[in-house]
């Protein structure tokens, strides 16, 4: 074979067109997914704001419990201190760490159609 036949060139061009069409579908779907991810990240931001409030509230409760214990007599502390300390520990050990954002979707360079259409049609280039 000295060069690509017209039929081969036509087939290659059809495949290139399919690759371009497929790439457009991928890019469109990727854009749609990224819009949804941005919506999700906005919801996560709001949720994390509530988590911050919950964390401050838990700290406040722990402070109140500790203040309550501190104002009690030694006898009371010996009798009731352990359960109040445990209560404070439960409040202070709750996991209220923020939720991480979700990364946007990125695709590798989809330049297959350009590469295929740029291949030489004959050994001369």
Do 77 and 54 meet the contact criterion of CB atoms below 8 Å apart?
no
What would the pLDDT profile of 51-89 be if each residue is shown by its tens digit? 999 999 999 999 999 999 999 999 999 999 999 999 999
* Helices 6-70 and 74-92: angle between axes, nearest 10 degrees: 170
- d(C-alpha 125, C-alpha 120), whole Å: 5
Question: Which residues neighbour 42 within 8 Å (Cβ) at sequence distance 6 or greater?
Answer: none
Tokens of 4: 């690509």
What would the pLDDT profile of 13-35 be if each residue is shown by its tens digit? 999 999 999 999 999 999 999 99
Domain residue limits, the chain:
6-93
Residue 4 in 3-state DSSP?
coil
């Amino acid at each position: 074979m000295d060069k690509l036949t017209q039929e081969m060139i036509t087939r290659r061009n059809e495949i290139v067109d399919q690759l371009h069409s497929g790439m457009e579908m991928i890019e469109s779907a990727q854009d749609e997914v990224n819009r949804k991810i941005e919506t999700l990240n906005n919801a996560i931001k709001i949720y994390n704001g509530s988590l911050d409030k919950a964390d401050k509230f838990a700290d406040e409760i722990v402070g109140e419990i500790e203040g309550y214990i501190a104002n009690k007599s030694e006898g009371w502390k010996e009798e009731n201190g352990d359960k109040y300390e445990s209560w404070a520990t439960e409040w202070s050990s709750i996991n209220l760490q923020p939720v991480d954002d979700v990364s946007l979707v990125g695709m590798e360079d989809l330049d297959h159609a350009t590469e295929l259409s740029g291949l030489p049609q004959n050994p001369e280039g």
